[in-house]
Structure 1
Amino acid sequence: MKVSRIVAFSSSLLLGAVLALTGAGSAQATTTGALAVDYVALGDSYSSGVGAGEYDSASGNCKRSNRAYPKLWAAANAPSSFAFTACSGARTSDVTANQLGPLNSGTDLVSISVGGNDAGFSDVMTTCILQSEANCIARVNQARSFVDTTLPGRLDTVYTGIKAKSPSARVVVLGYPRFYKLSGSCLAGLSEAKRAAINGAADHLNTAVSKRAANHGYVFADVVPAFTGHEICSGAPWLHSLNLVNIGDSYHPTAAGQSGGYLPVFTSKA
């Protein structure tokens, strides 16, 4: 009896060890599988990382930053492949014409931010900085009208193009932050009415982008909550205000905005 008990006990230990090893092997395979992702990052300057510095010289005027959220995510998750085609100044037509090349049927994950340049936000900011409050609000309303009437069709073209090349990919569409903390710490610059109008236009754009993304079965990633408390005129802004030295950085996320704002929001949706 003692011998049989010893044998049974030993068998039990052996079985337990085998199960433990099998479990460990399964866990390792699951982890490896989670990292076996082919990732393509598309979009405009908010995805290329304008304002964050450390630009890849090979990217030229596209100004792809090593501190941009796609690069940070890839560094942290080591995907099987990573293609970074986002480009400063890109409109929807630029994405479809120049950025979709790396997409294929094996692409698992796509990120994109686009629409702000189509809506003319650069011109909106120029108008609001240089002209009257009335002109600023009129230009904002013009942009909002464009978002209502023209932008949805352009977004549809981009999203349909992605679907055609990568029908199984998880596509994460990232929005834009509000620029200003109202009643904040800025003592000069734009009036409160101008800031409120610009924030409202950002919300309007995000709503339109979110609706079109949902219509295509894509995930919308709202960055407004992450940037709340880090807008221009806050105590710890993650956005550049008007930068006369590097004008292109103006109203773009800083490196902290990419790592503290865009990256965790994208990671939560990827």
Structure 2
Amino acid sequence: MASIRTRLALLGSAVALTAGAVVPAQLTAAAPAAAAADYSWVALGDSYTAGVVQAAGDVFEIPRDGCERTDQSYPQVIERDLGSFFELTNVSCGAATIEDVTSHAQVPVGRSVPGVPDPEAPFDPVPPQSEAVNAGTDVITVGVGGNTLGFADILFKCLELGQGTEGKGTPCKDALATGIPARLTKVSTDYDQMLAKLHEKGPNAKILTVGYPTIIPKDTSKCQYGHPHQFLSITPGDLDWLRTDVLEPLNTAIEKSTATQDAATFVNLYDSSENHSVCDADKWVEGVLDTDNRPALVHPNAKGHRNAADEVTSAILNAIVPKD
């Protein structure tokens, strides 16, 4: 596989030729401005795409719409990396479900946490994210599914049930395990419908579905019960269950749905982030609180978005630039 640098060089040549210019096959800072329109990219997704938390940068939407897209989120990082080659439309939104991407208008919640609404709420509804896609769209990236699964609700239930256990047992698994298969089935069904909708809206677009990173380590002895920068009151047994029966199957469901679409490719963030979980020293996902004691609610930080940007950039270039 060609390196990102090589593929950028090829992209620079392709864009220049499309614009009618003759340039060397190197990426140059003087790429024709008109070339931007030749590659239209729409970024869709939930908070793992939008950024949302302070550890993922500053919100740059003025006025705020409540979706909390941050300047260190991976779509914005990629836009800076790739310069003028892509025209980015980023409509990702915190708390989005798959149906919010496909067909539902969403009422954003801003940086609300349980029991503490965002002081600027309520926000106006935003249109279904798929409305940003059209026949001229070349690339669609979409990272969504966790909210359809109800991961935030599961997480907070695990936090609640783990209180007072001293880290023993699996109270969350005991209470919720029987309902997980139905949740995963809904993710698969909704994801299939979403991909069909995106293909209908953007028939010429390459669709890149973006999975979720490693959140919980395989070795949960790394996780300290009661630590606010990790999983606070969730027991080690429940962390093992969340990893093997909830989060890994979520990625599998997304990957399987993606495989049914000829124009879609799954972007795996799980493997590259394996040693950068909430409980690792060099974490790419923050815990309940980040290391500056700000609410993070188990979301990627700027390092996590940088890794996602690298993986997604490679996938985008592979999708639009012919392989050597």
Query: How many Å separate the matches in 2 of 1:35 and 1:234?
Result: 42
Letter matched to residue 27 of structure 1: A
Q: Larger Rg: 1 or 2?
A: 1
More helix by share: 1
- Which residue in the other structure is 1:255 paired with? 302
Instruction: Report the equivalent of 1:222.
Output: 268
Q: Is residue 157 of structure 1 aligned with residue 193 of structure 2?
A: yes
Deviation at 1:148, TM superposition (A): 3.8
1:205 to 231, 240, 250: 250
Taking structure 1 as the reference length, the TM-score comes to: 0.83
Q: Render the CA deviation track for 1:50-86: whole Å, top value 9, x for unaligned.
A: 2302112334310001111111111111234210000
Q: Is the 8 A contact 1:42 1:111 kept in 2?
A: yes
Instruction: Please say if residues 185 and 235 of structure 1, whose CA atoms lie closer than 8 Å, have aligned partners that are also in contact.
Output: no
Structure 2 distance, partners of 1:141, 1:107, is 40
For 1:119, give the aligned amino acid.
L
Letter in 1 for 2:97: R
Aligned to 1:37: 39
Q: Distance in 1 between matches of 2:236 and 2:27?
A: 55
The answer (yes or no) to whether the contact 2:170–2:235 under 8 Å persists in 1 is no
Q: Is the 8 A contact 2:225 2:236 kept in 1?
A: no
Change in Cα spacing, 1:63 to 1:142, as seen in structure 2 (3 Å) is: farther
Task: Give the whole-Å Cα distance in 1 for the aligned partners of 2:201 and 2:73.
Answer: 25
The question of whether the paired residues in 1 share the 8 Å contact of 2:36 and 2:87 is answered with no
Aligned residue in 2 for 1:12: none
Match of 2:216 among 180, 193, 212: 180
Of residues 38, 59, 62, the one that matches 1:55 is: 59
Q: Please tell me whether residue 194 in structure 1 is matched to residue 238 in structure 2.
A: yes
How many residue pairs get aligned? The number is: 246
Which one of the candidate residues 119, 124, 146 is aligned to 2:154?
A: 124
Alpha-carbon distance change, 269 to 80 in structure 1, aligned in 2, over 3 angstroms: closer
Q: Tell me, in whole angstroms, the C-alpha distance in 2 between the residues paired with 1:148 and 1:121.
A: 11
Distance 1:167 1:231 in 2: 37
SS class of match (2:23) = helix
CA, structure 1 residues 137+111, in 2 after alignment: closer, same or farther (shift >3 Å)? same
Equivalent AA in structure 1 for residue 67 of structure 2: C
Unmatched 5+ residue regions in structure 2?
1-21, 104-127, 163-168, 227-233, 317-324
Output the CA distance in 1 between the equivalents of 2:155 and 2:99. 22
Question: Matched residues in 2 for 1:120 and 1:239: separation?
Answer: 18
Task: Give the corresponding residue for 1:25.
Answer: 23
Q: Secondary structure at the match of 2:241?
A: helix
Counterpart-to-counterpart distance in 2, 1:228 and 1:29: 32
Moved more, 203-212 or 33-42: 33-42
Shift, 1:26, TM fit: 5.8
Show CA shifts across 1:152-211 (max 9, x none).
Answer: 111112111110011111111011123122245433233221111111111100000000
Which deviates more from structure 2 when the two are superposed, residues 57-66 or residues 167-176? 57-66
How far residue 106 of structure 1 moved from its aligned partner, in angstroms, is 1.2
CA–CA distance in 2 between the matches of 1:75 and 1:163? 27
Letter matched to residue 174 of structure 1? V
Aligned residues: CA RMSD: 2.5
CA distance change for structure 1 residues 263 and 184 in 2, over 3 Å: closer, same or farther?
A: farther
Q: Counterpart amino acid of 1:106?
A: G
Equivalent position SS for 1:171: strand
When residues 139 and 152 of structure 1 are mapped into structure 2, their CA distance, relative to the original with a 3 A threshold, is farther
The structural deviation recorded for 1:102 is 2.1
Measure, in 2, the Cα distance between the counterparts of 1:134 and 1:185.
17
- Residue 68 of structure 2 contacts residue 94 of structure 2 at CA under 8 Å; is this kept in 1? yes
CA distance in 2, matches of 1:231, 1:27: 40
> Are 1:94 and 2:100 counterparts?
yes
In structure 2, the CA distance between the partners of 1:83 and 1:143, relative to structure 1 (3 Å rule), is: farther
Secondary structure of the residue aligned to 1:55 is: coil
Q: Provide the TM-score with structure 2 as the length reference.
A: 0.70
> Identity across aligned pairs (percent)?
26
1:25 and 1:110 map into 2 onto residues whose CA distance is: 28
After TM superposition, where is structure 1 displaced by more than 4 Å over at least 4 residues in a row? 28-35
Report the CA distance shift for 1:148/1:185 in structure 2 as closer, same or farther (over 3 A).
closer
